Structure 1
Amino acid sequence: MTTSPIPRHSVVIVGGGQAGLSLSHGLKAQGIEHVVFEKHRALHAWSTQRWDNFCLVTPNWQCALPGHPYAGDDPHGFMKKPQIIEYLAAFKASVDAPLREGVAVQQVRPAPGGFLVRSSAGECFAEQVVVASGGYHTPIVPRLAERLPASIRQIHSADYRNADQLPPGKVLVVGSGQSGAQIAEDLHLAGRQVVLAVGDAPRCARFYRGRDVVDWLADMQYYDMPVTQHPLREGVRDNTNHYVTGRDGGRDIDLRRFALEGMDLFGVLQGLDADGDTLRFAPRLAEVLDQADRTYNGINASIDKFIAERGIDAPEGSVYEPVWQPAAERATLSLTESGITAVVWCIGFAPDFGWLDAPVFNGRGHPVHNRGVTAVPGLYFLGLPWLHTWGSGRFSGVARDAAYLAERIAQRRSALGAGGPAREKPTELQLQAALA
């Protein structure tokens, strides 16, 4: 049993990314003592899980972290990886959070008056806990990867940096969400032969009727819509992000045009035959391309309606017409005959909240909350996609969510009294017993 006094904190924040630091900014403004535990280095994902040519897909003006809005000379441009890292480093310095880097949280569980937190640095007590570690923890790689020939180089999108790290030959990119589409483009522009297993991701235009689509949607207040008002409600959290790019000043990603230029498109990857060589795909390539285009045209149509209703002077609208159609659906591909030597898995990440021992998860292991507030008093989430709005997991919306939770945390402290009334404050003996 632990015999030394257990350190106590008003708030423990788990995760030192933009969400955790944004909340630290809010708690400092409220004068609330807290600590931020980060198992790596603060904001590490932006430098360790992005490829060399990575750039934002949202315009720079949407970088609005608390107290640190974008202040450069290109608000409608798209910061590249070095600029993003510089922006975030300045944000970290401005917040000056009580940060404990290299401290991995191993368990959080309710205790009398709050929570016990076990970490690689020891145990502590927290009156309130905020999980700000995001939802992208474990790279998803299907089990069929284990059966691919050892000669094929396999990496996840989290580890992709550039075309040169892959051996000569064709590259199979699996998945066409934001990462998959952009990595396929990166390889394509580098002169590599790409086979793309297209998923169900939607797409949108970069520019339409004289402006960035993001600018139009901001004017239409789409980014202010709470999840409770979205037609899909919480179901929108499962949606794949639209693919588009900010590369070279921003443009559409049109997979059909890539096909005209030599990229080989297939449907969703479904499996590998017993021969260990034949890949199987869902024969739905035309269907998924058509659906992506319907979304593209649907977003543009909503912009057309907004312009017409307000009498806005803007260039004429248009409807996207396919520039390429698959000649036939192909359900199989031989690795050997096609010359594929590498695979880049771009099918996302799975959340891992196994260290959080609290009844706040649904049957799929996803946290249940209302704007980050769970049913367990004093336990919160921050930085998840669509936690409250579209921008909740992005630079554009996390400040609003962090300010809201900082206020809720302050209200709870006030309701319990400064530090909590005697019946709420656990004794050292109670905490030692809970740790036993």
Structure 2
Amino acid sequence: MPIHDLTAPAEARTHLPVVIIGAGQAGMSASWHLCKAGIEHVVLERNTRFHAWKNQRWDSFCLVTPNWQCRLPGFPYSGDDPDGFMLKDEIVNYVEAFAESFDAPLREGVTVTRVVRDAAGRIEVDTDDGLWSADHVIVASGGYDRPITPSFAAGLDPSITQLHTRDYTGPDDIPEGRCLVVGTGQSGVQLMEDLHIAGRDVSLAVGPAPRSPRQYRGRDATEWLHAMGYYDITIDQTPDPKATEAKTNHYMSGRDGGHEIDLRRFAKGGLPLYGSVTGVDGTQISFAPDLEKNLDDADKSYVGIREMIDAYIAREGIDAPVEPPFEKVWRPETEITEIDAAQEGITSVLWCIGFRPDYSWLQLDCLDPNGRPVHRRGVCQDPGVYFLGLGWLNTWGSGRFLSVGEDAEHVTGVILARLDQTGRDCRYG
């Protein structure tokens, strides 16, 4: 891809007050607010808008949070099932309808190759379709650029198919035989369940992800947490912001009306569970002896949420049905630390251990030594640089439909306060 000459005269470049990189819900939310304020800008998207929702979700994908939490700017969920969980196509319809509700200055199929300051201090956005200059740049490209696969995966016998979450659309993608799903974040447990429901032979390597109740004492757990003000807690109000930011999401499901996922029940029904994968050598797969600990930790989180809800109900004097205490229906008798995949009939491994962002093109002073964004509610110390759409950018809902619009409003508000507000020609409707 071309790298353009930053010594070219500034007047030869396309200059705008704001350039937004990424046309997912975060970037488009920022555009909505800028359009409303009449601030000229452009949204650059390397694929098509909402590409990830359209092309990087499996067929049975659905929201884990209820539809009422879909609150994009000026476009809250208005369907007839606020307590339901939209399926993939319904999510796409929702975000597309949001995009059609205003006239975003969107340029699709444009890849940003470099963002840097020129000698005069202007922010330059280099793309495969020309060079842009901006007073402010909003990075809304998300954190799902690079699927994480452990380096030792290269040692797996080539007869065993390896896939990542991003490669999976449905059970037909998995060859005959047993599939070892690795990881128990929201994707891992849902893909395990997807294969299990389809009657496929599946086993699961259980990581340290926490889990959550779905329905508890007459209401969805997310309704209780919303009423308790949990979703209003900012990252600065948490005991350890760095630890909060690094936390894995609690697993549960919105499938078929929503339910919780208790891995012990799957194990009791015969589904093999192992601890965290630590290495592979040909057909030999090694696991840490941490299965019981990981299950216990997940249950501790589950019970902790129930206890929070119990305390809230008691404090507020709410009349709610009482439920029996949680019981562990299964525990591992031994910790299996090594298996032979061939002997176990494992013909595929599905890696569900997350993604990493790729900011190699972002050559500004806004990343820490590990390449992670440094900001305060999306606003960087490097003047004119902002982030949107990251998990815990400000609250739990920052990377979700629930609060991404609020974060976009905050960031664009900072920009408006800094801009010389002239030359507004962005239409808002």
Does the pair score TM above 0.5? yes
The amino acid that maps onto 2:231 is: Y
Which range moves more in the overlay, 2-11 or 25-34? 2-11
Aligned to 1:100: 107
Residues 177-188 of structure 1 aligned to structure 2 (within 5 Å): 177-188=185-196
Residues 180-199 of structure 1 aligned to structure 2 (within 5 Å): 180-199=188-207
Secondary structure at the aligned position of 1:384 is classed as: coil
Distance in 1 separating the partners of 2:215 and 2:258? 8
> Percent of pairs identical after alignment?
52
Distance in 2 separating the partners of 1:151 and 1:48? 27
Residue 15 of structure 1 contacts residue 38 of structure 1 at CA under 8 Å; is this kept in 2? yes
The amino acid that maps onto 1:353 is: Y
1:267-326 per-position Cα deviation (integer Å, ceiling 9, x unaligned): 0000013xx121110011111101100100001000000000010000014431111111
The answer on 1:20 being equivalent to 2:14 is no
Provide structure 2 residue ranges, at least 5 long, that are not aligned to the other structure: 424-429
1:120-178 per-position Cα deviation (integer Å, ceiling 9, x unaligned): 10111111100011112100111222121222111100110111111110001000000
Provide structure 1 residue ranges, at least 5 long, that are not aligned to the other structure: 420-436
Residues 237-248 of structure 1 aligned to structure 2 (within 5 Å): 237-248=245-256
Residue 304 of structure 1 contacts residue 317 of structure 1 at CA under 8 Å; is this kept in 2? no
Aligned to 1:171: 179
Match of 2:362 among 356, 360, 381: 356
Residues 201-240 of structure 1 aligned to structure 2 (within 5 Å): 201-240=209-248
The answer on 1:375 being equivalent to 2:367 is no
Residues 416-435 of structure 1 aligned to structure 2 (within 5 Å): 418=422
Distance in 1 separating the partners of 2:98 and 2:199? 37
Distance in 1 separating the partners of 2:355 and 2:399? 14
* CA deviation after TM superposition for structure 1 residue 9, in Å: 0.7
Match of 1:160 among 168, 173, 194: 168
* CA deviation after TM superposition for structure 1 residue 327, in Å: 1.4
Residue 366 of structure 2 contacts residue 385 of structure 2 at CA under 8 Å; is this kept in 1? no
Distance in 2 separating the partners of 1:406 and 1:30? 9
Residue 116 of structure 2 contacts residue 123 of structure 2 at CA under 8 Å; is this kept in 1? yes
The amino acid that maps onto 1:336 is: A
Residues 85-124 of structure 1 aligned to structure 2 (within 5 Å): 85-111=92-118, 112=120, 114-124=122-132
Residues 32-431 of structure 1 aligned to structure 2 (within 5 Å): 32-111=39-118, 112=120, 114-273=122-281, 276-414=282-420, 418=422
Secondary structure at the aligned position of 1:95 is classed as: coil
Distance in 2 separating the partners of 1:314 and 1:325? 31
Residue 20 of structure 2 contacts residue 43 of structure 2 at CA under 8 Å; is this kept in 1? yes
Aligned length: 415
The answer on 1:9 being equivalent to 2:16 is yes
Distance in 1 separating the partners of 2:422 and 2:99? 29
1:79-99 per-position Cα deviation (integer Å, ceiling 9, x unaligned): 111111111110111132100
Residue 31 of structure 2 contacts residue 104 of structure 2 at CA under 8 Å; is this kept in 1? yes
Distance in 1 separating the partners of 2:334 and 2:102? 56
* CA deviation after TM superposition for structure 1 residue 113, in Å: 5.0
Secondary structure at the aligned position of 1:141 is classed as: coil
Distance in 2 separating the partners of 1:95 and 1:363? 39
1:67-108 per-position Cα deviation (integer Å, ceiling 9, x unaligned): 111010000000111111111110111132100000000111
CA RMSD of aligned residues (A): 1.2
Residue 24 of structure 1 contacts residue 95 of structure 1 at CA under 8 Å; is this kept in 2? no
1:398-422 per-position Cα deviation (integer Å, ceiling 9, x unaligned): 01000111110000114xx748xxx
Residue 286 of structure 2 contacts residue 339 of structure 2 at CA under 8 Å; is this kept in 1? yes
Distance in 1 separating the partners of 2:121 and 2:286? 55
